[in-house]
Structure 1
Amino acid sequence: MTDRKTHLDTLAVVSLIGCSFLWGLNQVAAKAALGEVAPLVQATVRSLGGVGLVMLWAWWRRIPLFQRDGTLPGGLLAGALFAAEFACIFIGLQYTTASRMIVFIYFAPFIVALGMPFIAKSERLDWVQTAGLVLAFTGVASAFAEGFTQPAIGPKQWIGDALGVLAAALWAATTLSIRATKLASASAEKTLAYQLGVSGVLLAIGTWWLGEPMPRSLSIMAVASLAYQTVIVVFASYLLWFWLIRHYPATRLAAFTLLTPVFGLLMGVVMLSEPLTLRLLLALAGVAVGMVLVNRK
């Protein structure tokens, strides 16, 4: 299919729900493997394995990745931010729950909405979008404060929560850097290859610097987690998302991303028996409603 659609058909809706479910489950998979695979080791395997698959895909589809087009500075910046984001996520999961992490990470679209007018003046927020931003921030701030007053999994929960918020800021910075540099005109495969390749190298250096041990043996669960993160999430779902962006209205696609923290929260509670608090539910509601307001027509 090469034509541009003006609405979301059944294929798009099913694909979006599937991507949201996969992304929500990603934090749960990473959390589940932390007992066997150190956080930066997981992030390194994820990025290096993912870039290898993207390069094979580009070779098969004859998509050029190495031509000189002025995207190198933007690619290096985006890759470095991407590495920092996932370092925060994987390290933070040692201190907080996957449910809380996914809610904090999805504050990123609102930071993008706040920063985008500095890059494209035509994308300034109106009062309804600003209200959505404030609502989402209030919910996230309330859930974050819970880490100090009533931590659900221990006194260091606030560290993981803070790293989740920082990861959201880094994700937003990555998005804004792509939009503000020549990467905005690059192919999706090349942009993804930059992020995964540069982050993989930096995360490998971080793993060596911190002396994180390589696992000597892995259970079936740990292998499945790494395979899921690398093949299903980083490679397949990201390429599907870029395909959807090429063929369907981006604003309507963006509204569906609010399903990701919902799925992540539910999977964390069901699969990892993580505690579910009222403040976390209110934060989720604030993020969901705020995203609808920010992404409205």
Structure 2
Amino acid sequence: MENTVRWSLVTAIAPIAWGTNYFVTHEYLPAGHPLYGAVFRALPAGLLLLALTRRLPHGAWWWRSLLLGVCNMGAFFALIYVASQLLPVSLASTIMSAAPFTLALFAWGLLGERPTALVLTGATAGIAGVVLLLGTGSVAVDRRGVAASVAALVMSSGGYVLAKKWGRADAGPVATTAWQLVAGGLILIPFAIAVEGAPPRLDGPAIAGFAYVGLVATALAFTAWFTGLRKLPAATVGLIGLLNPVTGVLLGVLWSGDVLTGRQLLGLALVLLGIACSQLRFTVRGDAPLSGLSVRSGEDGRYASADGRGRAPAGRHGPPGVDRRRVRGRAGS
């Protein structure tokens, strides 16, 4: 439980930072240059992380970085821009809030992480909360925008789960995040030149805005996000991602003087309830959580772990590596 909460807090850095990105982009970054904006966001952040790790891709990670860079960075940024231009922010965000379901489905198919009833309940509550929090109302729906938003949702969900699968034995989340950002930024450059021509001139506020977006909302956020994907089930990470629209709404309250309505307060409560569901673990007789419990098998005192490998116990009273006294002290937490 303690580890789950700790890694959940690390993961939460990402959606909170992404939620602030809306405000910074709207207030300080130049309009009309989304592709260059994506390049300025991804490439410097990736080069910075690459300089920190000083590690280049190796073996299969050359093509993996290219594929993940397209799914998670380059094409994803472009599709999100198209969706934001053709759809109201509320509708686009509501579509993207289905990420807990899509991440759970990809994780089930690619990783064998079967979603639990608790996670599915949390995802349902979270999406309902986003709908109430943002409200879609009676708005014109552009099918192209819906298609772009759904494509971004599916592409990024698949990319995140592939990053989790391939990242089990590699150079670490900082290095792989750097490779993806660099690949995604480089792929966008020819499209930016062809569509938008010369890059925009940046004034002081725009430079400061891109510095924040690159350092905090990209380099730090994606490193935290991919770290969470390594440490937590994909569906849990998807639920934590619902903090993104929550952050955007709360920033509106703080900076613009907006007042939350009763419906929005109910939506906020549902989102937080959905995220809380991802943190719960069932326990047996006050001992270790089921997700990490090993079951005694045979007369020799060996244990069959979840991966099927028997391990000799550390003592008579519990699975290997578990201090029964500490477990009892945490029971019910």
Q: TM-score range by the shorter chain?
A: 0.7 to 0.9
Q: CA deviation at 1:101?
A: 5.1
Give the direction of change, closer, same or farther, for the CA distance of 1:73–1:134 in structure 2 (3 Å limit): same
Partner of 1:222: 206
Aligned-pair identity in percent equals: 24
Where does 1:11-160 land on structure 2 (aligned, <5 Å)?
A: 20-33=15-28, 35-36=30-31, 38-59=33-54, 64-68=55-59, 70-82=60-72, 83-95=74-86, 104-121=95-112, 123-137=113-127, 146=136, 150-151=138-139, 155=140
Q: What is the aligned counterpart of 1:178 among 155, 159, 163?
A: 163
Question: Is the Cα–Cα contact under 8 Å of residues 108 and 172 in structure 1 kept in the other structure?
Answer: yes
Shift of 1:7: 6.5
Letter in 2 for 1:66: P
Stretches of structure 2 that go unaligned for 5 or more consecutive residues are: 282-333
Residues 236 and 118 of structure 1, relative CA distance in 2, 3 Å threshold: closer
Q: Determine the C-alpha separation between the residues in 1 that align with 2:249 and 2:28.
A: 18
Deviation, 1:97, is 6.1
More helix by share: 1
Write out per-residue CA displacement over residues 54-102 of structure 1, whole angstroms, 9 at most, x where no aligned residue: 111112xxxx32333x223322211111211111223434455667655
Contact kept in structure 2, 1:99 and 1:274, CA below 8 Å: no
Measured after TM superposition, the shift of residue 159 of structure 1 is: 6.2
Partner of 2:186: 201
Normalising to structure 1: TM-score of the pair? 0.72
RMSD: 4.0
Against the structure 1 CA distance between its residues 293 and 137, is the aligned structure 2 distance closer, same or farther, given a 3 Å change threshold? Answer: same
Structure 1 pair 266–257 and aligned structure 2 pair: CA distance change class (3 A):
same
Change in CA separation of 1:18 and 1:124 when aligned onto 2, cut-off 3 Å:
closer
Match for residue 260 of structure 1 among 244, 258, 282: 244
Deviation at 1:214, TM superposition (A): 2.0
Name the stretch that deviates more: 88-97 or 186-195: 88-97
State whether residues 14 and 225 of structure 2, in contact with CA within 8 Å, keep that contact through their aligned partners in structure 1: yes
Unmatched 5+ stretches in structure 1? none
Provide the C-alpha distance between the structure 2 equivalents of 1:130 and 1:14, rounded to a whole number of angstroms.
21
Aligned CA distance change for structure 1 residues 282 and 41 (closer, same or farther; 3 Å): farther
| Pairing 1:250–2:235 present | no
Cα 1:115/1:241, change in 2 over 3 Å: closer
**How far did 1:285 drift?**
5.2
Is the alpha carbon distance of 1:286 and 1:226 closer, same or farther for their aligned partners in structure 2, counting shifts above 3 Å?
Answer: same
Q: Is 1:192–2:183 an aligned residue pair? A: no
Distance 1:8 1:138 in 2: 24
- Higher RCO (CA-CA < 8 Å; seq separation 6+): 1
Whole-Å Cα distance in 2 between the matches of residues 166 and 158 of structure 1?
12
Paired with 2:250 and 2:135, the residues of 1 have a C-alpha distance of: 21
Offset of residue 143 of structure 1 = 8.3
Distance 2:69 2:151 in 1: 16
Structure with larger Rg: 2
